[in-house]
Structure 1
Amino acid sequence: MHVEGLNNAVNSTTVVAVLIATVAFAAIFTIPGQYADSQDKVKPGMTLGQANVARKAAFLVFFIFDSVALFISLAVVVVQTSVVVIVSKAKKELMAYINKLMWLACVLISVAYLAISYIVIGSNHKWLAVGVTIIGAVIMAATLGTMSYWVIKHRIEDSNLRSIRKSSMGSRSRSLSASVLSDTDIMNNEYKKMYAL
């Protein structure tokens, strides 16, 4: 069951990485605003084919964050499709790193979206872009904070179970006390836990 769960996580992460890479790639080429498409429409200091919003700070934030999210997602896809991990412990460690990268890609693509919203909304309705930024920041912070809490809680519980197992293995008495669990209880508890990567 544990191996099947890891394999499902690998497949799901690969699909999400491809989706993020697709969205990030498409977003760079569907920039809002106009392009200078003929020589007579080129503004001073700009080149033919350059987006009119290319010099705005919000666009620079969008471009950098969107590009980094794109390349992180592509790196995850390459690793997931190229590296074959047989050992369950190594696969779990790989998934832990991959999940952190996917969290980062999600945060970056969210910041890129918020940055481009300031351009799309325009200067007349900046309050709307600020409102969306606040809502997005609260949702992302709450999600990442909750996930981090569960990961840390799981690791503390896992560490406690390991120390209980070591102490019960070290003592040769098989009597149950209130503070020490039996080997079968430890194993059952370990497999009932959700693995947070």
Structure 2
Amino acid sequence: MPPVMEMIRIILATIIGLGLAIYTIWASLRNKASKYAFGGAVHALMGNDQYADIRYKKALEFDPMHFEALYYMARRHAGQREFSQSVSCYEKCLRQRPDDPNILFKLGAVFYDMNHIESAADLWKKFIEKSGNEPNIRMVKGLLEKIEKGEQEILSAPEFLNNFKWHEEGFGESRRIVIFLIVFAVEFFLLFTFLI
């Protein structure tokens, strides 16, 4: 086969393989809300918060109870100190996954920032029961001990903030994106090696 024809065959096969990989990923997302949420997660992973916000809000237009979109928006509202919106989003998430340790901790943190200490402590105690992450459990136990001692502004204390390391539990959107990208890379690699 002449070199030009071989090159055309490789290029066409590569395009078809890439198209197949992209289609497989896209089709695996259940609906429009999931597709927008996936786009939002990709932007959030890259640090493009403005575009992530747009995608997640669009996901919520298609499905007002979309878990990942609600979870993301809850975190964003909490970061902007829009506590009532954050609580609303986290509570919708909690109705869908009542034992999710991430939500239990983060909703507790929002309640703590709102000065609803008892609500925060209740959520953090439930978090300890449901969590499987030992560093997170130790941290939350430390917070509860400080609350019992009557310490104030625990979450904003410099010694807490300097040592704060949260380990997201479960299979979050970042891990899902990484798996999609790995599948895409493997598809491309296999296609490329078989064609050469």
Name the TM tier (shorter chain). under 0.3
Computing the radius of gyration from Cα coordinates, the structure with the larger value is: 1
TM-score, scaled relative to structure 2: 0.26
TM-score, scaled relative to structure 1: 0.26
